Amino acid sequence: MKKLLALAILASMPFLLFSQQFYQYSWKYYTTGNTGIQGDYIEGIWIDHDGDPYIAGYTPGFEEGGFAKFIQNENRWVNYSNVDYPVIGDINDLGSSRISDIEEDANGVLWMATWRGILKFDPLIGASSLEFWGAENSIHPGGRTLDIAIAPDGSIWAAVFSVEWGNGGLIHFNPATNQWNYWGYGSTANNWPELIGFCENLSIQEKNSGGYIVWIDGAGWNTLINFDSDTELFTLQPFNNNPGEVIALPGIDCVDDANNLWAFRFSGSGNFYSLDYTTPDGTWVNPPQPPSNSENDIWAFKAYGNGNALIIDGNSNVWQYDGTSWQNRGVWREGGFSYAVDIDVNGNIWATGVGGTAKRDAATGQWQRYRISNSSQFDYWVEDISFDTEGNVWMTGNAGGGVGGFQKFDGTRWIGYNNSNYGIGYPFPFPTDNTEVIYYRPSNGEIVINPMFNSLHSWNGSNYTSLNYSNDRSEGVVEDSQNRLWSIGEYYDLNYLSNNTWTSVPFMGLGASIAKDPSRPGTIWAGSSYQVLRTDGTYNFSMVTEDFQELDPQSDGLTTVVPAADGFAWVGTNQGLAKVNANNGTYQFYSPSNSDIPGESITPLAVTPDGRLWFANFGSSTTSTYGLCWFDGTDFGIIPQQQTGGLPHAQIYDLEVKVIPNGYELWISCASRGIAVLEVIHDNVGISKPISAEPALYLQNYPNPFSGETSISFNLPEDGITHISIYDMNGKVVRDLAGSFYQSGTSAVIWKGDDNQGRPVNPGIYICRISSGDTSTSIRIAAQ
């Protein structure tokens, strides 16, 4: 009996030796929370100097998200998510990835208000610059940071709202000195009003005489506070129902480019409140009031220019004050709950909220909407995956009521086929939200789909065509070597399509899987809960549950079948794994009683070019360790399910194999966790390609060994998303240094000998690995 290789660290381990071969493993993930717009809930937005926005999105419930830069002229999103960078937030902590505001300091560094603290990001450095401060590593009270502003002296001010997981108040942080200050309920320092325990908004106005005033909107009405940087004292603004008294801020960005501060003042008549602004010299200006000037009807506000402003009301109408009058710029999307609004230098307006974001083109006046349905991987429960010959990935998906369909991923962009693509995608003209089956047909290049309860259709890039399949549901399709399309149905149903005619083949049981035979012409394997069948429509090899002496036909059943070469196939059961020989009708059975197979409930998934069978053991009662398992004919192994950095869920709907240089990728559809991709390299690894005049992916660092920091330079043969990580010799990720878009040529990152939490690493040997596109390489680095 061979020893089971069940290593918990396998999921992140870069170098392992199995069956006299070296294997290198790495993971990447595609979920709603780390692709495209990163969720249908968008709170924060900041427009870069190139006119492209940084948009902060998240997916509630899953607590995945972060922020992404949208490269508009390429329709491409560069993502920074807690799925890939845990420093942004733990998916187990409500609100950890939710970002409410983004501001830029004088050095081009972005500071973000998150629901759990403050996040810092330097766009010039990328992901390795991410730093987070919350209750665990600072005096931040841990509550929901709603607003952030940067003072002329470079210090950071943040308004924090009290929530169940943390207190609120006002935060001041000086990055130059690493000095923190906090004022909350019960505080009296600097004349803070001790009964105010949390804050909602703040804005900073420079004084003509030097210094600045921080305007702080405490939670609740009539709790407006000033902080004077010269006196370092707070003043609670009076409210005695006297006209002109300043009582509240209208939003998060209340100081315009001319240093005017917008605020609500008590008017004493009419609507009682007036939206005015004060100039830097203290003069109040009373402009025409917006159509609805109630503080309760302003959901988003932005001051800009010199006395200009934007407002989104409760019905998502966008209003623009041009210095003379308020202009209606339309409804950015139907419904309420708008969260932010901004404007770029060309006058294009961006609005965000529940349901994504939208841009109003200043030239045309038209709104363009962006959601997960037209920019992201939009489903956490992907049922089926297929590859075309150009390397595109096709997958089923359901983004919610009315917006389901399927999607295509070209390695950079997600293209949606659904009814909410807003012109950036393709239609899905079927009365259902789900697509259950998707398959790329090699003979004609078309995509075959089964919209739930709507039978089989083919998409040729322009139109859908019904395949006249007699049943409304299919459990899987495949094309044989004679270009016939086969479909396995729900129950007692197996058919093939030839010359536009479907022919039925006798088959028993609940349909489970179907696959092309790699050896016999025109032949497929079909599996149900009762029968496994090898057939070409005339020739038939069949085995049923009664043919397996290890199974009780009254209670046991089969799962899936995966063909191997030369007439063999792997058949899963609820009692173990069978290797069936269709040439002579024999089989070999592996169970926990006669082998080291990790469980008895076995679902075969695929055979890879190295000869390994990959399977799932989800639902087994003989083990408490579920995961992605493999068998190489000698040894069994398992990659256990783990929350981050490995297999995200052991219940696997589909696994497809994509061959790459020196190995392969396993594209795994994990229940409730989207798509996980395991890259398996099985040639010589850990040796960097030599530097040459030809474009090549390489790594080098200097000094090596190093003490303090080392510069890691790398060359990319082409533009692309590039990941650089440091591993220890146990295979654990120590530090993520890069994970963003880089242009071709030579670039560099700095490693300061720290881990992802900023702690110094122990002296020793570490592995630095880079991956970009379909290539990767590694070097060893010695830390002293």
Between CA 62 and CA 513, with CA 35 as vertex, the angle to 5 degrees is 75
Residues 129-140 as b or e (16 or more Cβ within 10 Å = b): bbebbbeeebeb
Q: What is the pLDDT of residue 696?
A: 54
Distance CA 388, CA 394 (A): 8
| Closest among 750, 762, 763 to 703, alpha carbons compared | 750
Between CA 441 and CA 451, with CA 447 as vertex, the angle to 5 degrees is 130
- pTM of the complete model: 0.85
Q: What is the pLDDT of residue 295?
A: 58
**Beta-carbon contacts of residue 283 (< 8 Å; ≥ 6 apart):** none
pLDDT band at 401 (very low <50, low <70, confident <90, very high): confident
- What is the per-residue pLDDT across 543-571, written as a single tens digit (0 to 9) for each? 999 999 999 999 999 999 999 999 999 99
| Greater pLDDT, 223 or 699 | 223
Distance CA 546, CA 392 (A): 42
Q: 258 and 236 in contact (C-beta within 8 Å)?
A: no
**How much is the average pLDDT of 37-52?**
97
Radius of gyration of the chain from its Cα atoms, rounded to whole angstroms: 30
- What is the per-residue pLDDT across 109-127, written as a single tens digit (0 to 9) for each? 999 999 999 999 999 999 9
- What is the per-residue pLDDT across 160-217, written as a single tens digit (0 to 9) for each? 999 999 999 999 999 999 999 999 999 999 999 999 999 999 999 999 989 999 999 9
| Closest among 638, 590, 675 to 383, alpha carbons compared | 675
Q: What is the pLDDT of residue 527?
A: 98
Residue 596 has pLDDT above 90, yes or no: yes
Distance CA 780, CA 768 (A): 6
- What is the per-residue pLDDT across 628-673, written as a single tens digit (0 to 9) for each? 999 999 999 999 999 888 999 999 999 999 998 889 999 999 999 9
Residue 12 has pLDDT above 70, yes or no: no
Q: What is the pLDDT of residue 782?
A: 85
- The pair of structure tokens assigned to 764 is 């020793």
- The pair of structure tokens assigned to 775 is 């290539």
Residue 738 has pLDDT above 90, yes or no: no
**Beta-carbon contacts of residue 424 (< 8 Å; ≥ 6 apart):** 75, 368, 370, 374, 375, 415, 416
Q: 129 and 175 in contact (C-beta within 8 Å)?
A: no
| Closest among 740, 30, 28 to 377, alpha carbons compared | 30
Q: 678 and 639 in contact (C-beta within 8 Å)?
A: yes
Residue 539 has pLDDT above 80, yes or no: yes
- What is the per-residue pLDDT across 311-362, written as a single tens digit (0 to 9) for each? 999 999 999 999 999 999 999 999 999 999 999 999 999 999 999 999 999 9
Strand partners, 96: none
Residue 686 has pLDDT above 80, yes or no: no
CA distances to 119, 694, 717 from 691, in Å: 37, 8, 12
- The pair of structure tokens assigned to 287 is 């402009």
**How much is the average pLDDT of 472-493?**
97
Strand partners, 657: 666
pLDDT band at 93 (very low <50, low <70, confident <90, very high): very high
DSSP 299-314: EEEEEETTTEEEEEET
pLDDT band at 21 (very low <50, low <70, confident <90, very high): low
- What is the per-residue pLDDT across 214-257, written as a single tens digit (0 to 9) for each? 999 997 667 899 999 999 999 999 988 899 999 999 999 999 99
Residue 270 has pLDDT above 70, yes or no: no
Residues 107-127 as b or e (16 or more Cβ within 10 Å = b): eebbbbbbbbbbbbbbbeebb
Q: 318 and 341 in contact (C-beta within 8 Å)?
A: yes
Task: Say whether the peptide bond before residue 250 is cis (omega within 30 degrees of 0).
Answer: no
Q: What is the pLDDT of residue 4?
A: 56
